[in-house]
Structure 1
Amino acid sequence: MSDVLASFNAREKYSHFRILVIGRANAGKTTLLKRVCNTNDEPCIYDEKNHCLLEPSSERGIHDIDRPFAFTSNPQFIFHDSPGFETGDESQLMKVQSFIKKRAKATDVGDQLHAIWFCFIPNKARFLLDLEKRFFNEEGTGSVPIIAIFTKFDDLINQVYDDDLEEDQNREAADRLLKDNLRAPLFGYKFPPRADVCLEDMHEDDGNHQDKVKELMAKTAESLDDLSLKILFVSVQTNNLELCLEYAWTRSQEAHYYGTIMRSDQNASA
């Protein structure tokens, strides 16, 4: 009961929600984040003194994991970017692990890491890299949940496309390949993701991507252990009113339930 009541003070405890985004080059990370924040603008990069650099450049790109960035459309989302492990450089893996450990030990809630979005490009030639396997096998992330995001599923469909098959059959073939060679291995590792989402056509402006963004938001919220963080995450969803209303209703029902119990206990002891 105390956890539920404490959750309503979440906004006093936390000012923003911090996400580490990991993924190979061309995994569609920037497109995804723009969809999440409902913007076409470039992000605002922050320097070491937390001053906003108006836009990224070749000298100060968003691929520095220690340099946070945000979009002006929703500045309560703070992102960190890791370029992934496609180079095979073990130091990159160690840098990501060190970043997660550092944020996990942070005593200031403003410095803590709240979630990890790990983006994968489904490629039938090589679904998982060696360092990606090590990331999910060697060290856990504590209470920080990982959500696996399979981007560019439409590209995988093109890779397996057979002119002799119907469109639905080609989609099913790509889906089986994804599940057998990427999803199943990931969830079989020592420290698996807590959830996964499959995305496609995120670059299109036809509005169909909104359902997938909503799914990512919902699964991220469900993966959070701390109820205060869950409430915070939902509350900063300025572009996902439906999710906000759903959680507001759930929390109001819980508050009503516990309020009824408290009144009953008080009446019984009177």
Structure 2
Amino acid sequence: MSTESTSSRFEDIREKFGRFRILIVGRANAGKTTILQKICNTTESPEIYDGKGNKIDPSQLEGSMGRGIHDIENELIFRSNGKFVFHDSQGFEGGRKDEFVRMKTFIADRANTTHLKERLHAIWYCIPMDKIDRAIQRSEEMFFEECDSNNVPVVVLFTKFDALRVKALVKLAPADRRLALQGGLPKIRPLMEEIFNGADAWGRLSKMTYPPKTSVRLENIHKANEGCNILIENTASVLNDEALQMLFVSAQETNIALCIKYTVQR
């Protein structure tokens, strides 16, 4: 397929499906806002629209995106990349059963709607690793045991993975710790993996009634070019429809290699 015909195919898909729509779920301080900013290559806050497309003044909202208190129907769109539309899970992570029910209803409705431009295409569930001993809490159990995502793929994002470096340093002898801090000790990474595997977060999730499709580990997300590519590649890999893969790949603008890969394949 030529570049011109591929570009035309992308445009046809965008005309049919509209923006690529993602629900992002996670506790406060899980890194949700930073992740969306990195994906959209910006440091600005998103513009917020209600379910009817009316722009909302952020000052009128209770709380902030970082605290997850938006109406889940609100659409978050970054001016730097208007090909994505995001929804925030609105705080069920704090144990609010009514918000959990609203989220389940939102997922079911958006997964099955006949209006293609309103469909939900993927869910990113953020679990921070800075408190790995309590990584899987009641909110995760509720979601993966009770929330049938209706064939909308769920990707777990183990955020703040670099926090395990501190825990690994504690396990080292003082001399090795000094070497590790100077970047001269290769033992630190295996120890981080050992701590992560010992918590068995992925093992527990994968055995639940509605397990996630895949997971990614995100670290140093505030650094340039860190974290985005692996998330983009893993999300593309679990989309079960070729048109949705193309919609997602054409929407993201940070991984040019992935665009070329899918263009060649198609």
The bucket for the TM-score relative to the shorter chain is 0.7 to 0.9
Tell me which of 131, 136, 140 is aligned to 2:148. 140
Greater Cα radius of gyration, structure 1 or 2 = 1
Look up the equivalent residue of 1:57 and give its one-letter code: S
2:195 corresponds to = 177
Matched ranges for 1:197-208 at <5 A: 197-204=216-223, 207-208=224-225
What corresponds to 1:255 in structure 2?
A: none
Contact 1:11 1:232 in 2 (8 A): yes
Q: For 1:159 and 1:90, locate their aligned partners in 2 and report how far apart those are by CA, in whole Å.
A: 33
Distance 1:113 1:71 in 2: 18
Match of 2:133 among 114, 125, 140: 125
Q: Tell me by how many angstroms 1:208 deviates.
A: 4.3
Question: Cα gap change, 1:233/1:160 in structure 2, threshold over 3 Å: closer, same or farther?
Answer: same
CA apart distance, 1:118:
0.3
* Further displaced range: 163-172 or 149-158: 163-172
Structure 1 residue 114 corresponds to structure 2 residue 121:
yes
Give ranges in structure 2 of 5+ residues lacking alignment: 1-5, 181-185
Structure 1 alignment gaps of length 5 or more: 252-270
Letter in 1 for 2:16: K
CA separation in 2, counterparts of 1:184 and 1:232? 31
Percent identity over the alignment?
38
Q: 1:89 to 1:124 in 2, by over 3 A?
A: same
Rounded to whole Å, the distance in 1 between the matches of 2:155 and 2:251 is: 18
CA distance in 1, matches of 2:87, 2:259: 24
Letter in 2 for 1:232: L
Shift of 1:140: 1.8
The SS at the match of 1:116 is strand
Structure-2-length-normalised TM-score: 0.83
Match of 1:59 among 58, 61, 69: 61
Q: Distance in 2 between matches of 1:174 and 1:92?
A: 35
1:238 and 1:28 mapped to 2: Cα distance? 20
Residue in 1 aligned with 2:47? 44
Partner of 1:94: 101
Summarize the Cα distance change of 1:85–1:157 in structure 2 as closer, same or farther, 3 Å threshold.
farther
Instruction: Find the partner of 1:222 among 211, 226, 237.
Output: 237
| Number of the residue aligned with 1:68 | 75
**1:88 and 1:52 mapped to 2: Cα distance?**
29
Paired residues of 2:24 and 2:86 also in contact (CA < 8 A): yes
Partner of 2:183: none
Residues 20, 85 of structure 2: 8 Å contact kept: yes
For the 8 Å contact 1:65–1:82, the answer to whether it is kept is: yes
Deviation at 1:172, TM superposition (A): 2.3
**Superposition pairs for residues 242-261 of structure 1, below 5 Å?**
242-251=257-266
Q: What is the distance in 2 between the residues matched to 1:215 and 1:227?
A: 19
Structure 1 length as normaliser, TM-score? 0.82
The offset of 1:124, in angstroms, is 2.8
Q: Label 1:85 to 1:174 Cα distance change in 2 as closer, same or farther (>3 A).
A: farther
Letter in 2 for 1:143: N
Distance of 1:11 and 1:66 partners within structure 2? 21
Aligned length: 241
Distance across 2 between alignment mates of 1:149 and 1:198: 6
Once structures 1 and 2 are overlaid, which stretch shifts more, 172-181 or 73-82? 172-181
Contact 1:85 1:132 in 2 (8 A): no
Q: CA deviation at 1:85?
A: 4.2
SS in 1 for 2:126: strand
Residues 225-244 of structure 1: matches in 2 within 5 Å?
225-244=240-259
Q: Distance in 2 between matches of 1:49 and 1:84?
A: 22
Given that 2:94 and 2:139 are in contact with CA atoms closer than 8 Å, whether structure 1 keeps it comes out as no
Deviations 1:130-167 (A, max 9, x none): 23112112232122000000000112322443141553
- Give the C-alpha shift of residue 45 in structure 1: 0.4
